[in-house]
Amino acid sequence: MNQTLIELLDTRVRAALAAVDCPDAPAVIQPAGRPEFGDYQANGVMGAAKARKMNPRQLATEVLAKLDLAGIASKVEIAGPGFINITLAPEYLAGLSNLALTDANMGVPHPPAQRVVVDYSSPNLAKEMHVGHLRSTIIGDALARVLRFMGHEVIAQNHVGDWGTQFGMLTAYLIEAEQAGDVALSDLEDFYRRAKQRFDEDEVFATHARECVVKLQGGDAQVNALWQKFLDVSLHHCEALYAKLGVGLKREDVRGESAYNDDLPVVVADLQAKGLAVESEGAQVVFLDEFKNKDGEAQAYIVQKQGGGYLYATTDLAAVRYRAGTLHADRVLYVVDARQALHFQQMFTLSRKAGYAPAGMSLEHVGFGVMLGEDGKPFKTRSGGTVKLADLLEEAEQRAYALVSEKNQEMPAEERAVIAKAVGIGAVKYADLSKNRNSDYVFSWDSMLSFEGNTAPYLQYAYTRIASVFRRVETFDTRAPIIINDEAERQLALALARFAEALQTVARETMPHFLCAYLYELATQFMRFYEACPVLKSEGSVRDSRLRLCELTARTLKTGLGLLGIETLEQM
């Protein structure tokens, strides 16, 4: 297959529209949404009829006469003011299932491959990673996995905050702590707090900290070694969390802010030379007409502070140059908190104007809302502090362990721990990924760990149910074809065939929740099939075919959850 179902139907309906003199009319194929409308609905005829001042039903009749869906659809009808409802033929869907069973890529077509930079996780290394970075890490990782599966080349970039005045303070404090023989870096959060306290309270220390900033920037060997040491400890801490989360970010994916230091003066000079950056109150500023302030004047985008310091914005401009000029990216995704939306819009606009981002390179801010507590307020610890990611994941596993223990009292403790890890971490990730990322979302242990509804445990459980079917099978023909006789089988095969569509939507919209919704729908269709169609109690080729449907469902669930970075288990 080189097209998804939607693409195939789109091609055919457009050909029919062209044959009745509507060559540019879009077909507008959508999943029908209701059984009486068939499987897919073409909505493009109405628009085409309007453009030609024709009766839409009349035009639909003409289109229908030209529409060639032989071997694909079993029923094509006109409905309402000119919809075309399409029901796919069981034999055709069976064919797609058989193909998916044998194809290395499960029948998912590869679009023209792109090189995609995914900038994600990107915590500030001065502090410990907190829940705010959880969303970026999880969403970014899922997108990277989906894009790779679709044949794209993904370059992960962990744009960590590893530069700035805080690091002067931290290295100054590290010098003090090491002199005192203190193994200060075991708790980064605590270390940061103590350093900050010294900075605020002790003038001598604060002066030393400022000297350290200058030394760091000037390349002083001792201060640089301490800075490196600090970064290393902080990155180790991140990596422990990535491992726990099953996130694939590696040390070589780290390209922090400091990597762009040498390019920052070049960027500012270039913006000046291009007449984009001008001096304003001692700072270097770009006035962007596209963005107005409340007085209707062009907004100032600062690229160099008064006093010569560079900013987050300058670094991001340098990063665009690197991603275009060195990495040759076709597409760059910035998986960053929605509150930074204005920064990205301005930075993208300026990157285009300055010629840093060629027209063919797509720049996309993949924003997301904040995580809220069950009280609807930003997620905090009981005492009001920021929640450390490590603590949160620990709690997830503990809660899942308690749940698993309730269900399987006889199970050995190690086995329970393995399940608890998959379920606990899976639940946290899935709860995040299954919501439209643009909205804030409420973090609720009870709903994410529920075995009912659109949750990780529900899907993981659905998978184990199929696995248990296979444990009860003694023999079956593992190469038997899928044959569809029953409507529940047909619906399941249709759901299976939609995997490609779901992935395509995720990749295009950069929205993982479409894959979650898809997997939930697939599991639901499977449960319906399993109730309507006996599998182990049926016989001969029907039994083999149904087992093959089970097999493909299990594989699709496992692959789909895997693309979300969620583990499946054979038993739980």
Which residues lie near ligand ARG (CB under 6 A)? 119, 122-124, 159, 161, 316, 319, 334, 336
Structure tokens at 436: 């439209």
* Beta carbon of residue 346, minimum distance to ligand ARG (angstroms, whole number): 12
* Beta carbon of residue 557, minimum distance to ligand ARG (angstroms, whole number): 32
Say whether 564 sits in a helix, a strand or coil: coil
Which is nearer to ligand ARG, 316 or 544 (by Cβ)? 316
* Beta carbon of residue 355, minimum distance to ligand ARG (angstroms, whole number): 19
Q: At what angle do helices 44-51 and 5-19 cross, to 10 degrees?
A: 30
Structure tokens at 302: 């600062």
Which is nearer to ligand ARG, 329 or 336 (by Cβ)? 336
Which is nearer to ligand ARG, 62 or 162 (by Cβ)? 162
HEC profile of 286-335: EEEEEEECCCCCEEEEEEECCCCCECHHHHHHHHHHHHHHCCCCCEEEEE
* Dist CA 106 CA 99 (whole Å): 7
Q: What is the rounded end-to-end Cα distance, in angstroms, of the chain?
A: 35
* Beta carbon of residue 20, minimum distance to ligand ARG (angstroms, whole number): 50
Which is nearer to ligand ARG, 38 or 256 (by Cβ)? 256
* Beta carbon of residue 284, minimum distance to ligand ARG (angstroms, whole number): 19
* Dist CA 170 CA 214 (whole Å): 13
* Beta carbon of residue 375, minimum distance to ligand ARG (angstroms, whole number): 25
Say whether 42 sits in a helix, a strand or coil: strand
Structure tokens at 153: 């080349």
Which is nearer to ligand ARG, 247 or 336 (by Cβ)? 336
Say whether 285 sits in a helix, a strand or coil: strand
* Beta carbon of residue 196, minimum distance to ligand ARG (angstroms, whole number): 17
Amino acid, single-letter form, for residue 392: L
Nearest Cα neighbor of 137 from 153, 158, 155 is 158
* Beta carbon of residue 231, minimum distance to ligand ARG (angstroms, whole number): 13
Determine the residue with CB nearest ligand ARG: 122
Asked whether the beta carbons of 13 and 62 are under 8 A apart, the reply is no
* Beta carbon of residue 286, minimum distance to ligand ARG (angstroms, whole number): 17
Which is nearer to ligand ARG, 16 or 336 (by Cβ)? 336
Asked whether the beta carbons of 243 and 391 are under 8 A apart, the reply is no
CB proximity list for 104: less than 8 A, separation 6 or greater: none
Widest Cα–Cα separation across the chain? 88
Which is nearer to ligand ARG, 6 or 138 (by Cβ)? 138
Which is nearer to ligand ARG, 323 or 548 (by Cβ)? 323
Which is nearer to ligand ARG, 214 or 341 (by Cβ)? 341
Amino acid, single-letter form, for residue 133: H
* Dist CA 257 CA 556 (whole Å): 39
Asked whether the beta carbons of 25 and 49 are under 8 A apart, the reply is no
